[in-house]
A and B are shown apart, each in its own frame.
Chain A
């Protein structure tokens, strides 16, 4: 049977491999901890912005998968460090011999599956973040006035704090507030003619004004903040709203939040790439070390030449043997009866 990617490993190269693997494993542990921290940070940010993300937005799946990848990579790194350290010491290696095989299979399967999932999510999700923010901010602005409606009573406070903290106004600009009734009807004077005129002139009976909430105000402006009558060019002394000015925040919250979250996600993405690369290297190194030591029968300091390999035979041969073994175990079941069913499970091939 031909070995897959064999590599001759006499004693010195084996020791070098074990030492290099130990270093790589600790690097992997550091990288995976950083990935865990990064994805935790992104999850916390998304949780804080929960009100402004539409419920249909599935963006939180990406940092959750990154969390899982980080955990698996951390486990692989610690196992790699322990195994490579033990492989240099004859007394410590035997307990590792038994566990290393299953652990390698688990690491490869887990890492590979999560990698595929992460790639899929990374391609599908950015668009959903855009639309999610768009819908969420629109809903928050519509509910700004509903400070007495259960379920939406915090929208005003959260939106004000968002605009104050992120230095933004409205969805794409301050004019978004002109299209939304943000003053609660409870505080509108029904006896005021101006109020009645505005409500009657609107198709849906909304009270729309060319004013913005206080949280849109820019402290860098040299004059006290102008919040009302913003579309009349001569309503305020020395103020022309058509000219660029520092009166209100110029950016819309959609752009600011999108940029902020995309930056965090791209940092997380680069950390993930580094972690997965390191994990692949560590798993490969561990497999070569394991097979080389198996070739010596588990004797660490044997001077003999052995070969490390990835898979014992050609892939086709291995699958054929596994298939045949499974078939042989299942055939005599009806004649022997229940006690014999225990043995086919034990007879499964140890890869």
Chain B
């Protein structure tokens, strides 16, 4: 008993072929879209690779790019096959290729589904990469004279302005590192000397933040220095002040940005995957329907199309049998070779 058998007459076969041709061209478009999405994600990750220590994993965008290109190629070919399927003469040249092509299609669909899962699940690794990268970025903020790190200040400032965030987890992260270069510290000033002496590592730590942490929505001009000293500023209470600086940490801001990007890409890829599965099933039906045409001279006759020739457990058994036979034939050949050699030796 074949799996999901459907009867096909000539008109139905032609309609199936035409529908599949259209779906294949739509899938070529979908493949281009996925390629574009992968490229976009790769560019976005590259843009911020400075704050991710260049250690971010490019698995998702690379696989999206590869899948997009493969989808284009496969569906272009499948479209050609479906176009020729209507004419028995043209279809004859494609006949031997169709079964391996369908096997490749099933493999492609499986890989595409795995890529979709990756889109949704790789958030965690990005979080730890961002945490380390931002910490290092902030550490090198003051090294504007060190070759190889001189751009870090500009990168972090523009990041904080664009993503409306401050520090790693919050603005207090800036209190724990020296973000003002020694070059611009007045070492003759008593205040500077006191601060450096009172610190174990000899660093100049202040309760101040860079200007890029400032929030434009604040009603008062930005307070950047002496943030924890209420008496340093008129009518200021650092416990209740909320609009002065950005309160969100850059790790959370970047993570939510990339998460939403990858989620939407995952959703699009899932839709494309559903389309691909439909096309594979349709192609299988077309293949078996055209195989089932008993009389090649009469194209008008009815035929049957099915997904699997026997039911699922029987097909699985037959597959295992064929594997065993393959193993046994190797064994027989080996024994025959040994037997052939033994009489020669003996």
Contacts and interface: CB of A to CB of B under 8 A. Distances in A.
Among B145, B210, B211, find the residue whose CB has the most chain A CB atoms closer than 10 A.
B211
B332 to A, nearest CB: 71
B216 A161 contact: yes
A55 interface: no
Nearest to B160: A219
Given A237-B184, A237-B185, A219 B221 contact: no
Given A187-B235, A224-B210, A225-B210, A157 B216 contact: yes
B211 A217 contact: yes
Contact of B221 (A161, A182, A189): A182
Given A186-B235, A213-B221, A227-B211, A219 B216 contact: no
A3 interface: no
A214 interface: yes
Interface in B227-261: 233-235
Interface string B143-159: 01100001001100110
B222 A219 contact: no
Contacts of A157: 216-217
Contact of A213 (B181, B183, B222): B222
A222 B224 contact: no
B214 interface: yes
Contact of A215 (B183, B210, B216, B220): B216
Main secondary structure of the interface of A (DSSP, over half): loop
A219 B235 contact: no
Contacts of B185: 237
A217 B222 CA distance: 12
Contacts of B214: 214-215
A164 interface: yes
A224 to B, nearest CB: 5
Nearest to B157: A219
A157 B219 CA distance: 8
A42 B228 CA distance: 46
B183 A238 contact: yes
A174 to B, nearest CB: 14
B180 interface: yes
Contacts of A227: 211
Nearest to B159: A219
A214 B144 contact: no
Among B157, B158, B233, find the residue whose CB has the most chain A CB atoms closer than 10 A.
B157
Interface string A227-254: 1000000001110000000000000000
A65 B260 CA distance: 40
A22 B221 CA distance: 62
A165 to B, nearest CB: 9
A184 to B, nearest CB: 6
Contacts of B222: 213-214
A183 interface: yes
A160 B216 contact: yes
A316 interface: no
Given A224-B184, A227-B211, A237-B185, A219 B144 contact: no
B211 A187 contact: no
Contact of B161 (A164, A225, A237): A164
Nearest to A213: B221
Given A219-B153, A223-B181, A237-B185, A147 B211 contact: no
A220 B217 CA distance: 23
B171 interface: no
Nearest to A182: B221
A123 to B, nearest CB: 38
A214 B224 contact: yes
Contacts of A223: 144, 181, 183-184
Contact of B220 (A184, A236, A238): A184
A156 interface: yes
Contact of A188 (B157, B158, B219, B234): B234
B212 A147 contact: no
Contacts of A238: 183-184
A148 B219 CA distance: 8
B186 interface: yes
Interface in B297-324: none
Nearest to A183: B221
Nearest to B145: A222
Interface string B48-64: 00000000000000000
Given A157-B216, A187-B234, A188-B234, A222 B211 contact: no
Contacts of A219: 153-154, 157-158, 161, 212
Among A164, A183, A236, find the residue whose CB has the most chain B CB atoms closer than 10 A.
A164
Nearest to B142: A224
Contacts of A160: 216
Contacts of A189: 234
Nearest to A227: B211
Interface string B205-216: 000001110101
B140 interface: no
Closest 9 CB pairs of A and B: A160-B216, A219-B157, A222-B144, A147-B219, A189-B234, A214-B222, A225-B211, A214-B211, A214-B214
Interface of A: 147-148, 153, 156-157, 160-161, 164, 182-184, 186-189, 192, 213-215, 217, 219-220, 222-225, 227, 236-238
25 contacts: A147-B219, A157-B217, A182-B221, A183-B220, A186-B220, A187-B221, A187-B234, A189-B234, A192-B234, A213-B222, A214-B214, A214-B221, A214-B222, A215-B214, A219-B153, A219-B161, A220-B154, A223-B181, A223-B183, A223-B184, A224-B179, A227-B211, A237-B184, A237-B186, A238-B184
